[in-house]
Amino acid sequence: MANLTANELHDAAMNGYFAAVDAKELDRVLAGFHGNASLILPTAHQTFTGRDTEIRGMYEGFFATYPTVSHDGIEILVDESRQRVAAQFEAVRTTQDGKEEHAKNCNFFHFVDGKIETMWIYMSDEIML
């Protein structure tokens, strides 16, 4: 598959990944990842490898823990030649007891053949996924 254009990369992050996570649509989230993808959380010292195993399990737990999630004020930079996307945003999560948690986060995506091969999530809070 050919590389994505800058607009396609932007759309894959905004209307693909972030929209799917905010809607808590697990299958749609996972469809954006390669089967052997890695999701790395350096600030939590966690790595999840494999879309259908560890990454799926991480999102299942995340969605079960937080009734609502949103990514607000997303700012995106695209590097089309390297197939990379950087996103800065405020993550808002509602806990089971109705409290809101806010974090200033950054995600870095590396796309290969139109899907996420590696994603790094840097979080300002201490959440473990």
Q: What CATH number is attached to the domain comprising 66?
A: 3.10.450.50
Overall number of domains in the chain: 1
Q: What is the number of other CB atoms lying within 10 angstroms of the CB of residue 60?
A: 11
Question: Which residue type sits at 60?
Answer: E
Chain centre to alpha carbon of residue 1: 22
- The count of residues in the chain is 129
Per-residue pLDDT at 129: 61
Q: Is residue 1 domain-resident? A: no
- The mean pLDDT of the chain is 96
Residue 125's pLDDT is 81
- Mean pLDDT across 76-85: 98
User: What is the residue range of 56's domain?
Assistant: 6-122
127 inside domain: no
Predicted local distance difference test score (pLDDT) of residue 28: 98
Instruction: Flag whether pLDDT at 15 surpasses 70.
Output: yes
Three-state DSSP state, 82: helix
Q: Kindly indicate the confidence band of residue 66, based on its pLDDT and cuts at 50, 70 and 90.
A: very high
| The pLDDT of residue 2 | 85
Span 93-105, average pLDDT: 95
In this predicted structure, the answer to whether residue 127 has a pLDDT above a threshold of 80 is no
- Find the mean pLDDT for residues 50-71: 97
